[in-house]
Structure 1
Amino acid sequence: MRNEAWTHYYLVNGRVLTPHRMIAPGGLAIKDGRIHEVFSMKDCQIPEGANIIDVRNSLIIPGIIDLHLHGGGGADLMDGSAASIRKIAQTHAQGGSTGILPATLTNSLEDIKKALDTFSSEQEKTVDGARLLGVHLEGPYFSYEQRGAQDPRYLKNPDPEEYLELLERYPFIKRVSAAPELPGALDLGRELRKRNILASIGHTDAVYDEVVAAVEAGYSHITHLYSGMSGVRRVNCYRVAGAIEAGLLLDELTVEVIADGKHLPGSLLKLIYKCKGAERIALCSDALSAAGMPEGNYFLGSDESGQEIVVEDGVAWLPDRSAFAGSVVTGTQLLKTMVELAEVPLSEAVKMATITPARILNVDDSLGSLDPGKYADITVLRDDFTVVYTIVGGKIVYSS
């Protein structure tokens, strides 16, 4: 079903998950790209001849916001091509995501600029896919010891001349991940806070006190908690907490988890939920180009300068199988993992995939919940978490 010509229509006979309750049977009125009304079917008065989509008891939730991914459908942001950006947006819309924040990788400054230049020309164009919320600069300011799949050839300390140029030239950079223990990283955090850009702690070997200093400098988020991250260690025989424990303990920090059912077992997902709660956890895919593709050999980054990866058993690996390289899931699969593996209530899982990431990215005034006046970014799904419709700005961009 396509609704390009509809400026006013109704979703009816669904189970509507609002910030306050489930309305079943219920529906939404969508007008001029925004949510106009949320209603119970018992009380609604739909005009005769109105445009109606009957979702047949499907679940209607706010559009899923994925604040950390690299690609999908065989494409990667680092390809530096308009076609790749469109393919990523379409692939994640098929998975139920309505808003995405694609990430760069640790690479040469030349290749990072190429990717950002291309994104700059594509961001405002109409795309039949997920809304492009900006870019996440992931790297190159990372710890060598916790680099994971980040290319070690390009790791470096934060360079003010370099990052100030990027932040000035590309105002759509909405998030930067860095290891706060590196020389210059605290100054980077202060600069990001001044510009209202999300400063995130990632690929870090920091100890607890270094994370506290980072929070004081402006860092407020943890990149893929547990992945590429220090934990408890011994220093002169004494145990010292790491970035993982700091992320769990400090209320000032929000965290994200790769909820693919591979990176973290159910026990750790339960622990994170118990420590942080749905208001401080964002679900993310960290999806690579192989998301939505068959298993096999792919690249992390562009085919020209990226690293080889292997997709087996539903996850991406480095070729030597020494570490995961990222995930291959999208959208509603994140909800499925949290509900079935972590045994989190559906309403709480939805918060972690919608309003919490919206709040972390400072877009919750217009996205993240089914409130009248917000953009009509909506995910409609079945009980088995398969997608029925993905709606962005009132337009159906995917229909099963």
Structure 2
Amino acid sequence: MILKNAKIVLEDEILENGYLIIHDNKIKAIGQGSVVEDGIDLKGKWILPGFIDCHVHGGYGVDFETGDQDRFQTFAKAVGQEGITKYLQASVTTDVVTMEKNFKAFGVYMNTKREGSICLGAHMEGPFIAVEKKGAHDEKLLIKPNIELTNQVIEWSNHHLKMMTYAGDLQDGSFTKFLIENKIEPSIGHTNMLASEFEKDYLLGAKHVTHLFNGMSGIEHQRPGLVVGAINHRDVLVEVISDGIHLQPEILRFIYQVKGAENICIITDAMNAKGLADGEYFLGQLPVIKTGMKVCLKSNGVLAGAGATYDHNVRTMKKYTNASMNELIKMTSINIAKQLNIFDQTGSLAPNKLADLVVLDHDLNVEMTIAEGKIVYEK
């Protein structure tokens, strides 16, 4: 497959009139200028590395907890329309019996032949989180970080648990060590911890923070919280829900200024109602109401996941920060690929890397998504 007459966004430059050649599942060549061979003429549209969403619960009527036995495949085939080529599918807090059922189903899915965008594994969000910052998690099911239960989840998922959100202050560092030893990315979030309490986990190797500002202690001069800890350490990668709802434009600009494009990863945190009509749905076992891209708990109006698509969040981040295209791909692809130790395979456009890419029009709307050499979405 040849894509030509495109603006190709590489790590440190942009090819204004470029071509990209795909052979099997990899990028064979990238170059400047025209090619005589037949190919897809993109007429000056953008080619970016495929988006990697490390925190998405679901969308299009399915998520980790809801839908039939084919729900994980349903989501994989639908999410390409957002420009996503790879993702971590996130769970929410449930009882242990339901948790076992869902993670076993996920483990079976991960070990079968799959179509669409590619799931890299699970991101477990809850139940190891703080009551004070629970967000849309069921308070009566919350517990402290538990190594024994996590070992069970690892087994249930067929060893496809890749990231864990937990309140770092509810453990003494042993849980953080356990995650790192088991090659599970520790992500601190849904916590009321002090910035000083974050230090123990940072020094052990915790360098990821779940949806910065949302569900955590913030910037208070007499009680600096996790937000301050995450900002003070330049090398901590922070998730940002840049839908324009979870964070106001001024906060998006603030994060961009203080963290830099090198230390941000854009996420959706989207739940099953993404892509569906407004109305009443469930997040786990909690009733929610979707209005436009906003999803809130029916009981108290607290934000409950999100309803925006990844490409919307990319456009919103670009709009409010005026980030360059080279900076944008750091926040959508490069940074998280490095964090998940897959940057040698994907996350940027280079010969011999996997052909994971998205074609965007001049307004950054998705025209085509290619995951490992296969077209998984075409407008």
Q: What TM bracket, shorter-length normalisation?
A: over 0.9
**1:79: how far off?**
2.4
SS in 2 for 1:247: helix
- Residues 1:22 and 2:14 aligned together: yes
* Structure 2 Cα separation of the partners of residues 205 and 179 of structure 1: 8
SS in 2 for 1:86: helix
SS in 2 for 1:27: strand
Deviations 1:332-389 (A, max 9, x none): 1121011112332232122200111111111111110001111101100112222111
Q: Match for 1:260 among 243, 259, 265?
A: 243
Q: Match for 2:63 among 65, 71, 76?
A: 76
Opposite residue 323 of structure 1, the aligned amino acid is V
* Structure 2 Cα separation of the partners of residues 318 and 79 of structure 1: 17
* Structure 2 Cα separation of the partners of residues 94 and 367 of structure 1: 19
* Structure 1 Cα separation of the partners of residues 67 and 140 of structure 2: 20
Query: Given that residues 51 and 85 in structure 2 are in contact (C-alpha distance below 8 angstroms), is that contact kept between their aligned partners in structure 1?
Result: yes
Deviations 1:192-227 (A, max 9, x none): 111221000010000011111121233211000000
Residue in 1 aligned with 2:340? 361
Percent identical across equivalent pairs?
33
TM-score (norm 1): 0.91
4+ long deviations beyond 6 Å: none
When structure 1 is superposed on structure 2, of 208-217 and 65-74 the one drifting more is: 208-217
SS in 1 for 2:144: coil
Map 1:36-115 onto structure 2 (within 5 A): 36-42=28-34, 44=35, 46-47=36-37, 50=38, 52-79=39-66, 81-115=68-102
SS in 1 for 2:130: coil
Query: Given that residues 27 and 353 in structure 2 are in contact (C-alpha distance below 8 angstroms), is that contact kept between their aligned partners in structure 1?
Result: yes
When the two chains are superposed, the root-mean-square deviation of aligned CA atoms in Å is 1.6
TM-score (norm 2): 0.96
When structure 1 is superposed on structure 2, of 166-175 and 16-25 the one drifting more is: 166-175
Residue in 2 aligned with 1:176? 164
- CA pair 365-11 structure 1, distance change in 2 beyond 3 A: same
- Residues 1:149 and 2:116 aligned together: no
Query: Given that residues 139 and 155 in structure 1 are in contact (C-alpha distance below 8 angstroms), is that contact kept between their aligned partners in structure 2?
Result: yes
* Structure 2 Cα separation of the partners of residues 159 and 321 of structure 1: 29
Query: Given that residues 209 and 239 in structure 2 are in contact (C-alpha distance below 8 angstroms), is that contact kept between their aligned partners in structure 1?
Result: yes
- Residues 1:280 and 2:272 aligned together: no
Deviations 1:93-112 (A, max 9, x none): 11111111001111112212
Deviations 1:265-318 (A, max 9, x none): 1111111111111111000000010111111111112xxxx2111111421111
Query: Given that residues 81 and 115 in structure 1 are in contact (C-alpha distance below 8 angstroms), is that contact kept between their aligned partners in structure 2?
Result: no
* Structure 1 Cα separation of the partners of residues 99 and 172 of structure 2: 19
**1:391: how far off?**
0.5
**1:80: how far off?**
6.8
Residue in 2 aligned with 1:6? none
Opposite residue 26 of structure 1, the aligned amino acid is G
* Structure 1 Cα separation of the partners of residues 129 and 302 of structure 2: 17
- Residues 1:227 and 2:214 aligned together: yes
Opposite residue 248 of structure 2, the aligned amino acid is P
Structure 1 unaligned blocks of 5 or more: 1-8
Deviations 1:241-267 (A, max 9, x none): 100111111124110100111100111
Residue in 2 aligned with 1:5? none
Structure 2 unaligned blocks of 5 or more: none
Opposite residue 136 of structure 1, the aligned amino acid is H
When structure 1 is superposed on structure 2, of 99-108 and 87-96 the one drifting more is: 87-96
- CA pair 87-105 structure 1, distance change in 2 beyond 3 A: same
**Number of residue pairs aligned between Structure 1 and Structure 2:** 378
- Residues 1:314 and 2:306 aligned together: no
Residue in 2 aligned with 1:397? 376
Residue in 2 aligned with 1:296? 279
